[in-house]
Structure 1
Amino acid sequence: MDMFCYQCQETAKNEGCTVKGVCGKEPKTANLQDLLIYLLKGISIYTTKAKELEVKTLKADEFVMESLFMTITNANFDDTAFIEQIKEGLDLRDKIRAKAEEAGANFDDNKLYEGATWRAETEAEFITKANEVGVLQTEDEDVRSLRELITYGIKGMAAYTEHAYNLGYEKQELYDFMQEALVATTDDNLSADELVELTLETGKFGVEAMKQLDEANTERYGDPEITEVEIGTRDNPAILISGHDLKDMEQLLKQTAGTGVDVYTHSEMLPANYYPAFKKYDHFVGNYGNAWWQQKEEFEKFNGPILFTTNCIVPPKSDASYKDKIFTTGAAGLEGATHIEADENGDKNFREIIELAKECDAPEQIEEGTIVGGFAHNQVMELADKVVEAVKEGAIKEFFVMAGCDGRMNSREYYTEFAKELPEDTVILTAGCAKYRYNKLDLGDIDGIPRVLDAGQCNDSYSLAVIAMKLQEVFELDDINELPISYNVAWYEQKAVIVLLSLLYLGVKDIKLGPTLPAFLSENVASVLVDKFGISGIEEVETDIDEFLSA
């Protein structure tokens, strides 16, 4: 096989991509990503030991975080970027080892994981090694499954940690855990039970990562507010900003002010519309389009440049009119696209994008009206009395958490039909791009409470956990599973994996996960999740609704 990757929900035949990634990833890119993860494990062996000897490893901490983020599905398709990252990693690894040895560490190369000792200089050597170090290097299927579950969880954690880092928020324990977890995936002495425990610990630190990002976003930009977001267009040239990074959003709005160029959000950047700090910009128009996977058609009609701040990139066709209008930044990358780096202060210059936008036609309108969001935990808590009263009076019988990711598969129409078929005395709590399956439906309200409460981005699933824990406190329940809350979660990539592990750590049970269970779960590991946590796949809409409501 030319490659092997099964980290996303759309992996070929729900088994693994072996010729080319369904996401658009070429074998060379996939293999270089595997090589980078292999190297990160080696680096982490040295950083973990160095920290025991009180040696500071901040540069390596940041490098591991960023590198993990780069390997998330749909984040980076730029082979050159991975080659440069691997070169930097090799140099950094050897410097960290030297520092650890200066502090008294002793390493036996014959006993070390090979990623800690392997050396190469040329791209050809990288490619050769990259073909040898992929997922299938772990032969035991169950051990491989648990190692990958942990690895994908920390990839998602790294994404949330980097967003907070960009806003000046850091927790050393998050860096430490990501590296310790990477080291654990190289330890052949760990039992399956010990790896299961580590997956729960990954969920614990996932909660901390999401909490940190929530603090960073709200302290910088204010608590999200209930907001009607315009989905139509104006007649000015414009820039479309996609992804998740709110600092990039802030800098773009500041630099486009007074230029005559409007700014629209796309996909997971939609929740930027909910933050008070961004509402002061009159050239911030609203949201354009739908979930990430529809971008090929929608970007053709936008006319202006597109800025990808994180993952959710779909490589454009060679003849796409917008191909030369794509810009990337942060962990995102695309071969041939202009990449914008931050300076030493974390600031970015978006002048090139702005000047290009001025030369473009205004966006073509593809829909009109508004959608409502902004129901993060602080806003919902302000409505707590009203919500609790509605539950006590029977006006709200059940909440359905339908957070997570959207994707291309026709089977995801299930989530639209599920939302339509839910009884009128139920409320949907959502976060992530899964909401695009139902956030434009007219589902009405219950005593003024909208039946779809959008908390924000995938990382804002933390808000849904906070809401659940607050309701548990209000209703004086010992078990979070006694709440009238059911979980029907859609997943696509690794940020959804850390959300899932975080929910498991918090004790949430009986989650339905779809549209398919992860291919990286072996039969035995899947059985553990079923037996211990009640995780199951989706079935028919009516069957699942009946099962939820009869529980």
Structure 2
Amino acid sequence: MEELMFCYQCEQTIGGKGCTKAGNCGKDAEVAALQDLLVYQLKGIGFLGNEILKQGKNIDKEISKFVQDACFSTLTNVNFDPERFVEYLNKSQKIKENLKTLLGNVPANAPECVNYTIPASKDEMLKDAKKAGIMYDQNLDMNIRSLRETLIYGLKGMAAYAHHAHVLGFYDNDVDNFFYKAFASTIDNKLSVDDLFNLIMEFGKVNLKCMELLDKANTQTYGNPVPTPVLITKKKGPFIIVSGHDLKDLHELLIQTEGKGINIYTHGEMLPAHGYPELKRFKHLIGNYGGAWQNQQNEFDNIPGCILMTTNCLQKPRDSYKDRIFTTSIVGWPDVQHIREIDGKKDFTPIINKALELGGFTEDEPEKTILVGFGHNTVLSLADKILDAVKKGQIRHFFLIGGCDGARPGRNYYTEIAQKAPKDTIILTLACGKYRFNKLDFGSIGEFPRLLDVGQCNDSYSAIKIAQGLADALGCGINDLPLSLILSWYEQKAVCILLTLLSLGIKNIYLGPTLPAFISPDVLQVLIDKFNIKPISTADAELKTILG
């Protein structure tokens, strides 16, 4: 039977090999095909943009913004709306024509995707999408394919970070221009395995610059995060739950709901918002609701309030709450209400009115809080005290336990290793993986909580900055620190973070719950040989290896 689609970009891919009929994420074969065709268009745009940059010309930042937004839209659990992809595809064609005009003469040997023209109808687009499929070229060397796809998935993650920086008005030419170079490289048949591997290491360094840019955008706009207790129980009254990573959307909603008697809860990836001074000053930013993204269908079932999805991770909405979930920005699901930006503004009136109509929770729950806000500014301000505790033997080891969460069995490993880590160790955590254990009581070492919540995947720069700061203070390299990285992956932001860590020469990373299907055996062996990447085993075995 002919495959309807092929996708293996995320951890939950069927059989650890690839989704071929529909995605485990919820995307159907139609959306998968349109996403493939959009990436095909981005490769053509990349080729043209790279040639223009070689001529010393500049590319309009609105074009770069489109490239990154379109790339982000194909990341797992972001956009499932075929009509939105038709819009992206039509716009991509206009951008290609503009770039051809700017370039002048398109090289005669340009790859097919450069001169391909998007047809007028969606049905025709779907027919053409076959040529854009990952496995279309059956003769392509598997290691070349593996490295090209790894680079593309890294770009999808970096596109998310660049998008969040852009909406706050922060850009970086090196980051923007690398998208053209990288997409062009995925259709350059002259590049060898070594060339592509080196390019992926270059990508890691560019992504570090992008994560630094996002950190700067967030902290300069909303202040440096500070340790903050966050309510994780319900309060009486109408409410809106805000999920995803977009701090600007949250800020705008807080402004528009002020004084209206509506409580705002964060959810999933939005949890770190409570640590930012300019956001926490809103008294109706009341707390955090629920756990990690994969539990949302149960947590949102028949909820007496509204949900705003600002970015991933979105799952197929159940009918019991489809009338009260709203999307905005890059996010989309067919027949779900979408709030668009018009002339730089978003009007959240529809979701506000719906929340008031639903009425909200009818009573308060007994209060319980967790602590967030341990970004690099806070942790490094305590560096002298931390190092003193290390020298005195009060802190024996640091564990960074974090990354994406997901539904696949085996992720209880991360809870177990956090719980079994000895009481003279500190646990740094970030991203949705922390929802496995962030409501447990780990106690403290002196004045330091044993669990330090650094933030979400968007805050990975903080974790790197903390590690570099501690290494500098101790006069050693990151690999010489009493620090172990135990990471879980699910989607493409985890991929780009891993590539950044490798580009920094960081070794001995434990990775799970499975290894990526898009990494070929030969490429995996190179990563093991160069960086000693280790698939996770058991918590007891890991702790014995790490601590002796």
How far the C-alpha of 1:137 sits from its partner, in A, is: 2.8
Whether 1:520 and 2:518 are equivalent positions in the alignment is yes
Distance in 1 of aligned mates of 2:404 and 2:502? 18
Contact 2:273 2:280 in 1 (8 A): no
**TM-score of the two chains, using structure 2 as the length reference:** 0.97
Aligned equivalent of 2:410: 411
Aligned equivalent of 2:338: 339
How far the C-alpha of 1:117 sits from its partner, in A, is: 1.1
Aligned equivalent of 1:350: 348
- Distance of aligned partners of 1:289 and 1:301 in 2 relative to their CA distance in 1, 3 Å threshold: farther
Aligned equivalent of 1:433: 432
Contact 2:302 2:320 in 1 (8 A): no
Amino acid across the alignment from 1:34: D
How far the C-alpha of 1:209 sits from its partner, in A, is: 0.6
Aligned equivalent of 2:107: 107
How far the C-alpha of 1:383 sits from its partner, in A, is: 1.5
Alignment match of 1:35 (pick from 34, 37, 60): 37
Distance in 2 of aligned mates of 1:229 and 1:243? 17
Aligned equivalent of 2:207: 206
Contact 1:262 1:283 in 2 (8 A): yes
- Distance of aligned partners of 1:55 and 1:416 in 2 relative to their CA distance in 1, 3 Å threshold: closer
Aligned equivalent of 1:536: 534
Whether 1:465 and 2:468 are equivalent positions in the alignment is no
- Distance of aligned partners of 1:363 and 1:59 in 2 relative to their CA distance in 1, 3 Å threshold: same
Amino acid across the alignment from 2:295: Q
Alignment match of 1:67 (pick from 54, 70, 74): 70
Distance in 1 of aligned mates of 2:171 and 2:402? 26
Aligned equivalent of 1:22: 24
Alignment match of 2:480 (pick from 479, 482, 504): 482
Aligned equivalent of 1:280: 281
Deviations 1:190-211 (A, max 9, x none): 0101111111111101100110
Distance in 2 of aligned mates of 1:409 and 1:132? 32
Partner of 1:89, secondary structure, is helix
Partner of 2:229, secondary structure, is strand
Distance in 2 of aligned mates of 1:51 and 1:191? 23
Aligned equivalent of 1:547: 545
Amino acid across the alignment from 2:51: K
Amino acid across the alignment from 1:163: H
Aligned equivalent of 2:308: 307
Partner of 2:224, secondary structure, is coil
Deviations 1:41-86 (A, max 9, x none): 1011112222333143323211101001000100000000001110
Distance in 2 of aligned mates of 1:366 and 1:289? 14
Deviates more, 1:216-225 or 1:383-392: 383-392
Whether 1:8 and 2:10 are equivalent positions in the alignment is yes
Contact 2:327 2:339 in 1 (8 A): yes
Amino acid across the alignment from 1:264: Y
How far the C-alpha of 1:344 sits from its partner, in A, is: 2.9
How far the C-alpha of 1:282 sits from its partner, in A, is: 1.3
Q: How does 1:288-327 map to 2 (within 5 A)?
A: 288-300=289-301, 302-317=303-318, 320-327=319-326
Contact 1:55 1:99 in 2 (8 A): no
Aligned equivalent of 2:171: 170
How far the C-alpha of 1:19 sits from its partner, in A, is: 1.2
Distance in 2 of aligned mates of 1:140 and 1:28? 27
Aligned equivalent of 2:186: 185
Aligned equivalent of 1:91: 94
Distance in 2 of aligned mates of 1:91 and 1:280? 43
How far the C-alpha of 1:382 sits from its partner, in A, is: 1.8
How far the C-alpha of 1:34 sits from its partner, in A, is: 0.7
Aligned equivalent of 1:392: 391
Amino acid across the alignment from 2:75: I
Deviates more, 1:274-283 or 1:514-523: 274-283
How far the C-alpha of 1:417 sits from its partner, in A, is: 0.9
Distance in 1 of aligned mates of 2:349 and 2:287? 21
Deviations 1:254-296 (A, max 9, x none): 0000111111000010000111111221111010000000001
Partner of 1:372, secondary structure, is strand
How far the C-alpha of 1:366 sits from its partner, in A, is: 8.0
Counting aligned pairs with the same residue, the percent is 45
Contact 1:47 1:60 in 2 (8 A): no
Partner of 2:411, secondary structure, is helix
RMSD between aligned residues:
1.3
Aligned equivalent of 1:217: 218
How far the C-alpha of 1:403 sits from its partner, in A, is: 2.1
Distance in 1 of aligned mates of 2:349 and 2:519? 45
Contact 2:304 2:358 in 1 (8 A): yes
How far the C-alpha of 1:385 sits from its partner, in A, is: 1.8
Contact 2:468 2:478 in 1 (8 A): yes
